[in-house]
Amino acid sequence: MLGASGAVGQELLQLLEQRAFPVSELRLLASSRSAGTTQSWKGQQLTVQEVSAEAFQGVDLVLASAGGSVSKQWREAIIAAGALMVDNSSAFRMEEGVPLVVPEVNPDAAFGHQGVIANPNCTTILLTLALAPLAARVPMCRVVVSTYQSASGAGARAMEELRDLSQVVLDGGTPESAVLPHSLAFNLFLHNSPLQANSYCEEEMKMVNETRKIMELPDLRFSATCVRVPVLRAHSEAVNVEFEQPFPVDEARSLLAAAPGVELIDRPDDNRFPMPTDVTVRDPIAVGRIRQDISEPNALEFWLCGDQIRKGAALNAIQIAELLISS
């Protein structure tokens, strides 16, 4: 495993144990800076080794969550050792020949790998879980989504900073962020990934391009606005989907309730719909507030929440590996 000390790496370790993933030997690999430290797993202390080409010898699977530059650096060594890399970074997602996989959505794509399978962006994973069962019933024409992304998307340090700066505000102080460009404490701001030439940020374009690839809809009209909000680890999304024909709300609700990886929380009489706390440290995403778009007869709107670290990253990667070993 590459990147065991980060938020996603820690979640991977927990899930490997919780899901009884078959492991004969677990190697924790990192830079020289982290080498020699220890991580707890299944009641034992594992020592982190410095990553090297030799460290991949005899390895079947590499779960990589150490960032794109690290994944690019060690890709060839991993493939040369005969291992499969399931990569959580954005390094290879849009590369031709590299499958981009959400097991509940496009499982067959995983079997066309050439040594690397890419784990999609967290917001994309959560979104496609809800889009797939609907698109299988009525073809989609257009998707418009606004995301409400938690601190966990920026890593463990951002989560800790949100806790600390929230207390600063409660104590009457002025919060000053060292991890994010602005304080998230009692605040929100547009996603801070670099703006592209079309004035959409990198995070927004990840959603556009990755959704098109996963759903095999290269011409899907898609627009996204990504926002960072003061929530610790679950993302939320407001979604508007236009179809080729009207889509009955009751049918959409039934399809989503039966969809793998999806939990329906849709109680209009109680005004009770998904919240980040419903999905934190849980596997399924929650979908609700399913309604007819009053401005477009062929469109539906809904709201979803999903744990960014879990299904949005670590769980999806492990499910990809489980899919391959079970075939």
Q: Give the DSSP per-residue string, 258-269.
A: HSTTEEE--BGG
Residue 249 CA: distances (Å) to CA of 20, 107, 165, 259: 39, 27, 42, 15
Measured CA to CA, the distance from residue 3 to residue 9 in angstroms comes to 6
Q: Can you say how many angstroms the Cα of residue 193 is from the centroid of all Cα atoms in its chain?
A: 16
Measured CA to CA, the distance from residue 303 to residue 291 in angstroms comes to 10
Measured CA to CA, the distance from residue 213 to residue 226 in angstroms comes to 19
From the candidates 191, 201, 226, 235, which is the catalytic residue? Answer: 235
The answer to whether the Cα torsion of 47, 322, 121, 154 is positive or negative is negative
Residue type, 216: E
Residue type, 280: T
Identify the CA nearest to 120 among candidates 308, 327, 261, 262. Answer: 308
Residue 128 near residue 305, CB atoms below 8 Å: no
- Count of CB atoms within 10 A of residue 27's CB? 18
From the candidates 122, 201, 226, 305, which is the catalytic residue? Answer: 122
Give the E-state strand segments of the chain in sequence order: 29-30, 38-41, 44-47, 49-50, 61-64, 84-87, 116-118, 140-149, 189-190, 221-228, 234-243, 262-264, 285-292, 299-307
Q: How many residues does the chain have?
A: 327
Q: Give the DSSP per-residue string, 145-193.
A: EEEEE-GGGG-HHHHHHHHHHHHHHHTT-----SSSSS--TT--EE--S
Active site residue 191: no
Backbone angles phi and psi of 291, in degrees to 5? -155, 160
Active site residue 226: no
Measured CA to CA, the distance from residue 242 to residue 300 in angstroms comes to 7
Query: Which of the residues are catalytic?
Result: 122, 235
